[in-house]
Amino acid sequence: MRVLVAGGAGYIGSVVTAALLQGGHEVTVLDDLSTGHADAVASGARFVQASLHDSGPVLAEVRPEAVLHFAAKSLVGASQQTPEEYWHVNVGGSLALLEAMRAADCRRIVFSSTAATYGEPEQVPIREDAPTRPTNTYGATKLAVDAMLTSYAVAHDFAAVSLRYFNVAGAAYGLGERHTTETHLIPIALQVAAGKREHLTVYGEDYPTPDGTCIRDYIHVEDLSDAHLLALPAPAAGEHRIYNLGNGTGFSVQEVVDAVRQVTGHPIPVEVGPRRAGDPAQLVASSDRIRGDLGWAPKHTDLAGIVGDAWSLIS
């Protein structure tokens, strides 16, 4: 397939770009490099530096058969400080991309949605039919794009899939997390192990969880990438599917820190700070729907293995 990968210079998009190339697809990456890196784009892909808001001419020229849409602002904490940026990029940018697709007669899309669309869950593991009540602006913007995709499927015959990722981690194809200002738990803990930071701050230990720290479901980026390749051809025209993607096992912040200590052999000094605004206590996925529909199954479910793959790029 001839595909356009929006946000393909970022962490997850660059891994999926490498997998698409390996699968024989023809790939153009569109990315404004606001948080991505041109050198993360695999050499077999064409790279165009452009914003989602200016995607019209790019799609008109490339004429892709499908789009994989990773481009977004994606930090829970920052979305509470500068919500306008999140609405502008995530919702305004996605609308511009969908309109560029319509103009180029491209109606197949896989979108990076998130566990943050659910908010504080009533039940774990979280299924796709759980209530969506985001506790932060980031989740609200992603939920708005999910709704946009349903409308475009109904009104404009789009074939769409929203993949609601839980916490993505690990590395593949020599590509890992590389954010200029890192905010994610595992890379920060690894930076402490590598001596690049003095300590890790745990954001709250008064949550209603067994050890008081937040619980998340960590999914390996390679398993996530497999899901994209399965999802790409799956929906029919007029269909919008939603799939959760996680391992189905929750680990607390404390357990992640312990795994990093074990994998790296370094002490990880920890300070306890206040809660981070917008963080739900517990997010754990049920991925039964994608397992049943598409036969997806994660291969890397062991936390130490996921941490070890990320560490191998740093150490």
Ligand X SMILES: O=c1ccn([C@@H]2O[C@H](COP(=O)(O)OP(=O)(O)O[C@H]3O[C@H](CO)[C@@H](O)[C@H](O)[C@H]3O)[C@@H](O)[C@H]2O)c(=O)[nH]1
Ligand Y SMILES: NC(=O)c1ccc[n+]([C@@H]2O[C@H](COP(=O)([O-])OP(=O)(O)OC[C@H]3O[C@@H](n4cnc5c(N)ncnc54)[C@H](O)[C@@H]3O)[C@@H](O)[C@H]2O)c1
Which listed residue (4, 19, 76, 221) binds ligand X by CB under 6 A?
Answer: 76
Contacting range for ligand X; rule: CB under 6 A; set: 26-34, 125-133, 182-190, 226-234: 182-190
Q: Which does 185 bind (CB under 5 to 8 A by kind): ligand X, ligand Y, none?
A: ligand X
Q: Where are the alpha helices (DSSP H) in 6-136?
A: 11-22, 56-62, 76-81, 83-86, 94-103
Which listed residue (37, 102, 133, 276) binds ligand X by CB under 6 A?
Answer: 276
CA angle 38, 42, 44 (to 5 degrees): 120
What SS3 class is residue 12? Answer: helix
Contacting range for ligand X; rule: CB under 6 A; set: 45-53, 126-134, 196-204, 306-314: 196-204
Q: Which does 176 bind (CB under 5 to 8 A by kind): ligand X, ligand Y, none?
A: none
Cα distance between residue 188 and residue 198, in whole Å: 10
> Do 270 and 199 meet the contact criterion of CB atoms below 8 Å apart?
yes
Contacting range for ligand X; rule: CB under 6 A; set: 37-45, 153-161, 200-208, 235-243: 200-208
| 151 near ligand X, rule: CB under 6 A | no
**Among residues 11, 86, 138, 218, which one is catalytic?**
138
x-marked contacts with ligand X along 8-37 as a string, rule CB under 6 A: ------------------------------
Cα distance between residue 250 and residue 282, in whole Å: 8
Cα distance between residue 107 and residue 101, in whole Å: 6
Residue with tokens 């790409």: 232
| Closest distance of CB 310 from ligand X, Å | 12
Residues that bind ligand Y (CB under 6 A): 7, 9-13, 31-36, 51-52, 70-72, 74, 89, 93, 112, 114, 165, 167-168
Cα distance between residue 9 and residue 23, in whole Å: 18
Taking the least distance from each CB to ligand Y, the nearer of 7 and 278 is: 7
203, two tokens:
């954001």
> Do 28 and 46 meet the contact criterion of CB atoms below 8 Å apart?
yes
CB atoms within 10 A of CB 203: 18
73, two tokens:
């602002």
| Closest distance of CB 152 from ligand X, Å | 22
> Do 187 and 138 meet the contact criterion of CB atoms below 8 Å apart?
no
| 116 near ligand X, rule: CB under 6 A | yes
Residue nearest to ligand X (CB): 214
Which listed residue (216, 220, 228, 240) binds ligand X by CB under 6 A?
Answer: 216
Phi/psi for 55 (5° steps) reads -80, -15
Instruction: Please indicate whether residue 138 is annotated as part of the active site.
Output: yes
**Under the rule (CB under 6 A), what is the footprint of ligand X?**
74-76, 114-116, 166-167, 183-185, 188, 200-203, 214, 216, 253, 276, 279, 283
Q: Which residues are catalytic?
A: 138
